[in-house]
Amino acid sequence: MASTLRLDTIKALIEHANTIADVGCDHAIIAKYCIDSGLAEKVIASDISDKCLDKARKLLGDNNRVDFKRCDGLDYICDEAVIAGMGGLLIKRILLNARSLPKTLIVCPHRDCDEVRKTLLSLGYGITDDIDITERAKFYSVIRAKFGEGERDLDELQLLFGINVKIPNTTLQARLNKLYDMYMIAPRQNEDKLRTVIAAMSLQGMKH
């Protein structure tokens, strides 16, 4: 898989740590980056699927700084973990069932980011970075959270649209426009969602 804005944004948030895990690694591009860049002394490439771990082994080869683990979620100890490319509810479950929580997490859910932000806060993390990106007509939040650091007191709109919802940002504005158009197809059924989108649009100085 070629480099993408989503993966590049995730990579840019990774900090040096002794052990970094790429949870649900699939192709293991993140794990490889952590090894090649020297950001990690040791990398754990883990996935629930044997087929995906085979892809990871192919990319990373035989390296005594890499451990491959077939497991559900975070069933091991690490200092920092990247959990990306899954739905927010799955990431939430992985965090709530983790054997041990790392000090730093970088998460990029496909959807339900609010559930992930709420879960991070409930587990004692604060959010230090929350970046909106768009790639192939999809919108993503790339979130870095640290245990006991960062923003912990988020309001409803920050939980839904990110900690920077009050700072004008064209990517977020495009996302809000898309949500607005989608919810306006059935405004009565989407009344509550429309209320939050319109409130966020107003914070962004947008007209609707």
Q: Identify the residue among 8, 54, 72, 156 touching ligand SAM (CB under 6 A).
A: 72
Q: Cβ(154)–Cβ(125) under 8 Å? A: no
**Is residue 26 close enough to count as binding ligand SAM by CB under 6 A?**
yes
Q: Identify the residue among 9, 11, 32, 85 touching ligand SAM (CB under 6 A).
A: 85
Nearest Cα to Cα of residue 70 among 91, 53, 90, 88:
53
The phi, psi pair for 201, rounded to 5°, reads -60, -40
* Residue with the CB atom nearest ligand SAM in the bound state: 85
Task: Indicate the residue among 2 and 185 with the shorter CB distance to ligand SAM.
Answer: 2
Candidates 46-54, 150-158, 172-180, 189-197: pick the segment binding ligand SAM (CB under 6 A). 46-54
Task: Indicate the residue among 8 and 72 with the shorter CB distance to ligand SAM.
Answer: 72
**Is residue 78 close enough to count as binding ligand SAM by CB under 6 A?**
no
**Is residue 80 close enough to count as binding ligand SAM by CB under 6 A?**
no
**Is residue 52 close enough to count as binding ligand SAM by CB under 6 A?**
yes
**Is residue 132 close enough to count as binding ligand SAM by CB under 6 A?**
no
Q: Where does this chain bind ligand SAM (CB under 6 A)? A: 23-26, 47-49, 52, 72-73, 84-86, 90, 94
